Structures are given as C-alpha cells and as structure tokens.
Amino acid sequence: MNERIKELAEQAGIITNLDTDFFEKDPNKWVDYYSEKFAELIVRECIGIVENLSPGYKDYRDQIEDAFRRDCVARMEQHFGVNDSNCQV
C-alpha cells in the first residue's frame, strides 16, 4: 500500500482505531463512516495538490493559472461535497 494512502487510512481510523463494539452492533454504519472519512481525506489530499501547483510563470499566465486552480478546487469541493467546514484532516 502507498505510504500516503496508509497514512490517510490511519487518519480515517480504518487501520488503527477499530472499535469492535461499534462494529459488532452495526457493521454497515462502521463501514459507511470510515469509508466516507477515507474518501474525504483522499479528495482533500487531491485538492491540496491542485492548490499547490505552481507553473512558475512570471507574467500574466501565472494569474490565469491561479484562477484556473481556484476554479478546479471549487469544482472538486462542490462535486464531492468536501470543504473546510465539514472535513478535518
């Protein structure tokens, strides 16, 4: 498994925070919660990559690239329903 994905799985609680009582009482709820959290972490990671891309232009193209990145981030957040208020990484 990719180390970053492993770290995200640990943050989501998939690997290290296995609550057996919770799982035994309602396994579907457990799977849904951790799957959703894991997906949110992956989407947030992708958004972070896009936000930090920098082509390094020293002219108007840099402003165009910045605007495009902001649009991409906003569309990804909207599409996946992930934003700073509902996803703590």
DSSP code string of the chain: --HHHHHHHHHHTSSS---HHHHHH-HHHHHHHHHHHHHHHHHHHHHHHHHT-----SSHHHHHHHHHHHHHHHHHHHHHT--TTT---
Contact 66, 84 (CB under 8 A): no
Neighbours of 43 (CB within 10 A): 17
pLDDT tens, position by position, 13-45: 776 545 555 555 666 666 777 778 888 888 999
Q: What are phi and psi of 18, to 5 degrees?
A: -75, 110
Q: Which residue has the higher pLDDT, 19 or 57?
A: 57
Q: What is the CA radius of gyration of the chain?
A: 17
Mean pLDDT rounded to a whole number for the chain: 76
Residue count (the chain): 89
pLDDT of residue 17: 47
